[in-house]
Amino acid sequence: MDGRIRELQYAIATDPGDAEARSRLRALLRRVANLGDRLAWNQADPSSQDLVIEAVAYQLQPRFSFLETERYEAGGAAHRIAAFRHEATGARLHLIPGGRYERGGRREPLRINEQPLAEVLTRPFLVGRTPLLQREWERLPGRDARRFRGPELPIDGVTWEDARAWLRGAGLRLPSEAEWEFACRAGTETAYFWGEEPDSSYAWFGTGGASWETQPPELHAAFPNAFGLVDLAGNLAEWCEDHYVGSYHGAPCDGSPRREATGDLRVVRGGDTYNSSSHCRSASRNLAARDVQAGGIGLRVAASLEW
C-alpha cells in the first residue's frame, strides 16, 4: 500500500490537474488512517498515521514544511497531532482531524446565541498553534492599530477586513466559526476544554477592569488543549470568517462559514484578559463590527486541505 501511495503522489506531482489520481489517493489514505474522522484517526496505529501525515506533507509543499508529531491531552481527550511551519510567515499550524461534534452551549443559563444545539461535521484543516504573533504578522505587509507591542505578543488592533487581506497575501484564511469551536473543544464536551470550571492555567481572562494587556502565548505552552493549541480559550478574542447572527437557526452544519447578504457584524471567539472567564467557554460567541480595531481582538490562521 505504501508503494501505491507513492505512485499516486508521483502521478499528481507530474500532472497536478489529475483529479482522478487525487481522488484515488484520498480514498487510499482513508483506508490507512482516516483523517476525516477524529475517532477513527485516534484508533489508528502511529505508523499508519505517519503514512497519512507524510502524504499530507507532500501535498502541502512548498508552502508548508513538516515539523514534528506530538501527543496532547486535556480534559480527558487525547490526540496525536502533526505540526507544520508556514514558510512565508514562520507560523506553526497543527493538522486537525475532521469529525462530528455538537455545536452550542449546554450549560445553564442557556444563551440564545448558542442555540439550538446541532451536530456539525468538519473536514480536516490546519490551524495556528497560537494566535498569530506580531513577529509573524510583520513578515508580510499588513495594516494594524495594535495597542500592545512585542514580537512574542499576539497581533491585535486588526480589522476583520485587514486580517482577511493579510491572510490572502499569505495564502491562508480565517477559520470558520464551526472549525474554531471544533478546534477549541478538541473532543471534549465540558464547558471549557479542560473541565467545567475556569482555570487560569489554561486561559488568560479578566474581571472587567478598566485596563488589560495581552500575554505571550508561550507562557501557556505547557497547557494546550488536546489538539496542542495554546491560548484558544483566552488572551485575546479571535476573528472568524462568519457573519454574526444571534442564533444558530439557519447556520450551516458542514463546517463552512455563515455568510449573510447584508450586515457588518462578524463573529469573534474566545476569551480575553478584560472579560470574565465565561467568555473562555468553548461555546461562547461574541461579535464585532468588521471595521473595528480593538486591542482585545486578534486572529488565528487556518488553511484548507484537499480531503
Cβ atoms within 10 A of the Cβ of 90, count?
11
Q: Which residues pair with 285 in a beta bridge?
A: 269
One domain, residues 175 and 283: yes
d(CA 116, CA 103): 8
Give the three-class secondary structure for 173. strand
Q: Please tell me the predicted confidence (pLDDT) of residue 109.
A: 84
Asked if the structure places residue 76 within a domain, the reply is no
d(CA 239, CA 272): 13
Asked if the structure places residue 157 within a domain, the reply is yes
Percent above pLDDT 90 for the chain: 84
Asked if the structure places residue 74 within a domain, the reply is no
One domain, residues 174 and 272: yes
One domain, residues 180 and 57: no
One domain, residues 35 and 99: no
Cβ atoms within 10 A of the Cβ of 191, count?
20
CA angle 67, 181, 140 (to 5 degrees): 50
Cβ partners under 8 Å of residue 138, min gap 6: 151
Q: Please tell me the predicted confidence (pLDDT) of residue 55.
A: 92
Q: Please tell me the predicted confidence (pLDDT) of residue 209.
A: 57
One domain, residues 107 and 238: yes
Cα 215 from chain centroid?
19
Q: What is the mean pLDDT of residues 218-245?
A: 97
Q: Please tell me the predicted confidence (pLDDT) of residue 184.
A: 98
One domain, residues 108 and 228: yes
Residue 7 has pLDDT above 60, yes or no: yes
Q: Which range marks the domain in which residue 244 is found?
A: 81-304
Asked if the structure places residue 34 within a domain, the reply is yes
In the structure, what pLDDT confidence band is assigned to residue 211 with cuts at 50, 70 and 90? low
Least confident range of 59-68, 103-112, 197-206, 275-284:
103-112
Q: Which residues pair with 68 in a beta bridge?
A: 83
> Is-cis flag, bond preceding 217, omega within 30?
no
Give me 109's grid cell: 443559563
d(CA 289, CA 268): 10
One domain, residues 139 and 263: yes
d(CA 117, CA 114): 7
In the structure, what pLDDT confidence band is assigned to residue 208 with cuts at 50, 70 and 90? low
Cβ partners under 8 Å of residue 61, min gap 6: none
Number of domains in the chain: 2
Of 302, 290, 296, 286, nearest to 182 by C-alpha is 302
Residue 164 has pLDDT above 90, yes or no: yes
Across 158-190, b (16+ Cβ under 10 Å) vs e yields bbbebbbebbeebebbbbbbbbbbbbbbbbbeb
Asked if the structure places residue 71 within a domain, the reply is no
